[in-house]
Amino acid sequence: MSGFVPLHLALVIPLAGAVLIALFGRWPNVREAVTLATGVGLLWFVASLLPHVLAGATPGVLLVQLLPGGLSLVLRLEPLGMLFALVASGLWIVTSLYSIGYMRGHGEAHQTRFYVCFAVSICAAMGVALAGNLLTLFLFYEVLTLSTYPLVSHHGTRKAMKGARTYLGILVTTSVAFLLLAVAWTWVLAGTLDFRVGGILAGRAEDGILLALLALFVFGTGKAALMPVHRWLPAAMVAPTPVSALLHAVAVVKAGVFTIMKVVIYIFGLDLLTTTGISVWLMYAAGFTVIAGSLVAMAQDNLKRRLAYSTVSQLSYIVLGAALANTWGVVGGSMHIAMHAFGKITLFFCAGAIYVAAHKTEISDMRGLGRAMPITMAAFLIGALSVIGVPPLGGSWSKWYLALGALDAGQILFVAVLMVSSLLNIAYLVPIPIRAFFSKPADGSEPPRFREAPAFCVAALSFTALGCIVLFFLADDVYRLLVPLGGG
């Protein structure tokens, strides 16, 4: 399959949506209809790209020639970006449904600004997914940071402003100080910034410099939340829950690990990393974050904060997959982008539903809540099991491949890390729904009567929970989509 593919539509559709949402701000029903229509349109377009990728084509679009020296903004479709675009655009629709229930149920202010920024963020996420070179990726990475700032500071309270400042501060600092430097350095070393199979840096510099460059890339991508640049993620939890759900479980954080994955596969190249061994330290850094993130999560009583630290831990699975730099690792890590997205967004949806329906944010207050919110709590359990990696849920496959990758690389230690992490996940996630169903409220009062969240919310979280199960059976298709990443 060849010919021109108008990839830029993936940017134009959400952007046009943002403009229309702003114009129709006065009529909430029309505004929300525009959001949903845009979401459906975008997903339809992204899905229509799938046959190209499966046929092995990598169509590209030159957006603009930026500098006379050959630097340009380019979009190019490839398997990893395809997966990320599908996940982000698909979950956007679900999140929009959920937002309608949440924002109205909660009577939030500035809803038009909220939906506009949301659409712009999705546009930026699409740009990250389809970026054809590092500069384009960097551009949309920054747009994503800036467009999500108003979402994080949405409540406008002192606490929200502080959290948003931490968010912006860490993300921009790392990206400007490290990532941009890495991009510029790559340009000087390789003379190109294009993503190419097999990488562009092989033979361009000594190992020491490549090692430094990899470190700059990894810590410059603050969105991947590798410790110690993870602090922005818990800080961002001051945002309304739909934001935490889509952006801080899917779009923003996945844009981070996606960047690292792209850099490893298309800038360094797997061969370069395995022959020089410059990514070994990254395995240890990721392994540390996996364990430490889980341990910190256990100590959190605020549900959203616990989920945030759980995300920190889970993101490093993907970084670990990239650092292993073999086919299993890369496929497992990339697959985890999708699997973790469905699992974690379900958990966040549940957290938001509990907040809207029962006004509870602390885990210790949630005992006995299962009677009142059985659907939500059941979905929570499914999401939790998927994050843990229990069959028949999607998360089990990505962990399986990651473990294979670790064995393949001869790093038995990291198989152990994955197992220990799963145990920790069980320890901090499973008790929440279990106690909700089988314990009585802590203050000894009667369990509350049935009172679920708004229908939009419940529908959304049921859908993503079912998605976790469906993905288990679709793993083979995802695998076939991703396996070209391993080289060949």
Partner 1 sequence: MSQALQAQLPVLQVVIPLLAAPLCIILRRRSLVLPFATGVCWLTFLVSVFLLGDVLEAGVISYELGGWAAPWGIEYRVDALAAFVLVFVSGIAALVLTYAPRSLNDEIPASRHYLFCTLYLLCVTGLLGIAITGDLFNVFVFLEVSALSSYALIALGGRRQALPAAFQYLVMGTIGATFILIGIGLMYQMTGTLNMADMAERLPAVEGVRTALVAFGFLTVGIALKMALFPLHVWLPNAYAYAPSVVSAFIAATATKVSVYILLRFMFSVFGLEFSFEQLGLGRALMPLALAGIFVASTVAIFQRNVKRMLAYSSVAQIGYMVLGISFATATGLTGGIVHLFNHALIKGGLFMAMGCVMLRLHSVDLDEMAGLGRAMPWTMAAWALGGLGLIGVPATAGFISKWYLIQAALEQNSLIVAVLLLLSSLLALVYVWRVVETAFFHEPSARAREAREAPLAMLVPTWVLLGATVFFGIYTRYSAGVAEQAAEAVLRGLP
Cβ-Cβ contacts under 8 Å for 281 (sequence gap 6 or more)? 211
One residue of 54, 187, 298, 302 binding partner 1 per CB under 8 A: 187
Minimum Å distance from CB 125 to partner 1? 16
Least Å from the CB of residue 165 to partner 1: 8
CA distance 304 to 308: 6
Contacting partner 1 (CB under 8 A), which of 3, 68, 208, 488?
Answer: 68
Contact 372, 424 (CB under 8 A): no
Q: How many residues bind partner 1 (CB under 8 A)?
A: 27
Pick the binder of partner 1 from 16, 36, 50, 184 (CB under 8 A). Answer: 184
Identity of the residue, 55 or 64, whose beta carbon is nearer to partner 1 in the bound complex: 64
Q: Which residue in 119, 130, 139, 320 binds partner 1 (CB under 8 A)?
A: 139
Q: Does 188 bind partner 1 (CB under 8 A)?
A: yes
| Residue 168 binding partner 1, by CB under 8 A | yes
Cβ closest to partner 1, residue 180 vs residue 330: 180
Q: Among 6, 51, 70, 156, which residue interacts with partner 1 (rule: CB under 8 A)?
A: 156
- b/e per residue 376-413 (b: at least 16 CB within 10 A): bbbbbbbbbbbbbbbeebbbbbbbbbbbbbbeebebee
Q: Which of residues 73-102 bind partner 1 (CB under 8 A)?
A: 73
Considering only residues 3, 4, 29, 67, which one is a binding residue for partner 1 as defined by CB under 8 A? 67
Residue 453: burial class (beta carbons within 10 Å; 0-12, 13-18, 19+): buried
Beta carbons within 8 Å of 176's beta carbon, 6+ residues apart: none
Nearest to 47 by CA among 88, 104, 100, 12: 88
Closer by beta carbon to partner 1, 146 or else 415: 146
> Of 3, 55, 56, 64, which lies in the binding site for partner 1, with binding defined by CB under 8 A?
64
DSSP string, 368-421: TTTTT-HHHHHHHHHHHHHHHT-TTSTHHHHHHHHHHHHHHTT-HHHHHHHHHH
Q: Where are the alpha helices (H) located in 60-157, listed in sequence order?
A: 79-105, 111-130, 134-152
3-state DSSP assignment of residue 432: helix
**Secondary structure of residue 245 in the 3-state scheme:** helix
Collapse the DSSP code of 18 into the 3-class scheme (helix H, G, I; strand E, B; otherwise coil) and give the result. helix
What is the three-class DSSP state of 302?
strand
> CB of 166: closest distance to partner 1 in angstroms?
13
Binding to partner 1 by residue 166, rule CB under 8 A?
A: no
Cβ proximity to partner 1: between 153 and 311 the closer is 153
Binding of partner 1 by 110 (CB under 8 A):
no
Asked if 138 interacts with partner 1 (CB under 8 A), we say: yes
Spatial separation of the C-alpha atoms in residues 45 and 41, rounded to whole Å: 6
Interacting span for partner 1 (CB under 8 A) from 81-89, 170-178, 298-306, 475-483: 170-178
| Of the residues 161, 215, 295, 434, which one makes contact with partner 1 according to CB under 8 A | 161
Name the residues that contact partner 1, by CB under 8 A: 64, 66-68, 71, 73, 135, 138-139, 142-143, 146, 153, 156, 161, 165, 168, 172-173, 176-177, 180-181, 184-185, 187-188
